[in-house]
Structure 1
Amino acid sequence: MRSLPHADAISATSGVASQLSRSQLGDIAEGAINAKYSRDKESEADDFSFDLLKKRGISTQGLVGSFEKLASLDGGRTQSMFDSHPPSTERAQHIRDRIASGK
């Protein structure tokens, strides 16, 4: 008889742990999705800045320099799926590619 309440306690604890795990997984997934959305918007903003500078006849090379400076401040940190901005090295390369293509 004594094991029955013990089994109920274990079952209840497992249920709480399961619910907590699902909630935490949901939070993690939401964070990753939001970060991806934010990175996409940052990339769009980079392209907008490039286009605006080009339209105004201002050198776009400064964008590359800015992203290279940010990359040096990152200290070689690897990207996380929760980062809200693309890696600065990738941003600099994207602008270099646009400069090279003339687009």
Structure 2
Amino acid sequence: MKYILLLWEPDTDWQSVPKERLDAALAEHVAFGRYLDERGIEWTGGALSAQDTATTLRPGPDGPVVTDGPFTELKEGIGGYYVIDVPDQATAVEIAGHCPISSATEVRPIWD
């Protein structure tokens, strides 16, 4: 059984923080990756781009309604995810429009 660990934290532009802070944060994740490796746990992970890069689809009377940003109510939780490899965000949003939508589907680039 696979699990996703959603790392909830304040929205941070990691490309603009002081190098020491970024290095310290990345070192913690490297250490966690080593821990998983030592335990023989298969894993993959990635940092998400800032929340303002997200696109959200909600059910509408004539199909999905697309809005900028995550803007999902906090009472709603993330119940699953898909990782797709497409050339751009417009294609990702088009693909997401075919995915079953309960409350919302957030489309966000993974920070490289």
> Normalised by the size of structure 1, how large is the TM-score?
0.32
- Greater per-residue strand proportion: 2
- Please identify the structure whose Cα radius of gyration is greater: 1
- Greater per-residue helix proportion: 1
